[in-house]
Amino acid sequence: MDTAQDSSLSSSDIRFRWMGSITSELSLCRLKDREITSRPAKVLMMKIGLRGCRFQTYMNIPVREDAEWLMKQQIGSYTALLNGIIVSSDQDAGWWTYEMRWKMSSFAQQTFEYRLNAYMQALLVNSPHIMTLYRSISQRNDGEFRRLDVST
């Protein structure tokens, strides 16, 4: 994997792996000091986190620190417009895999973190596995859980 020096995302960053196929729109928004607009291209999101994301595409995008990209991502009912810099790339079976580091203000970072956490919470609560686990726990006969459960 090609990696820019010390700018790659570490494996300790908390990331959320999408369940199913999630696409985003990627477009170039700045090159060096010039603002540039390009046509958006669909990319396949693999992981997303508070510091960046990993995605796949058929396009060969150069890894450059002076190129800023705009990622339009739908997270539940919230549409996130995230600016970032591509920090690494890898090719496998005709597909290019990229890692992007977000470049945003502290307010935008807090807003994105709040929206992403709310979306993950909604997904986890509505997950069939969580609902099955909740039912099995609520059917226990030890009385302790029934005392704490407000739904019964």
Q: Where in the chain are the domains?
A: 2-103
Residue 98 confidence (pLDDT): 94
For the domain spanning 2-103, the CATH number is 2.40.10.220
How many Cα atoms occupy the beta-carbon half-sphere of 142 within 13 Å?
7
Q: Hey, what amino acid is at 135? A: R
- Both tokens of 47, joined, read 């992981």
* Separation CA 52–CA 147 (nearest Å): 42
Q: How many CB atoms lie within 10 A of CB 123?
A: 14
The pLDDT, as a whole number, for residue 43 is 94
Q: Is the pLDDT of residue 112 over 70?
A: yes
Identify the weakest region by mean pLDDT among 21-30, 103-112, 123-132, 137-146: 137-146
Phi/psi of residue 16, nearest 5 degrees: -115, 120
pLDDT of 81 strictly over 70: yes
Question: What's the rounded mean pLDDT across residues 93-119?
Answer: 89
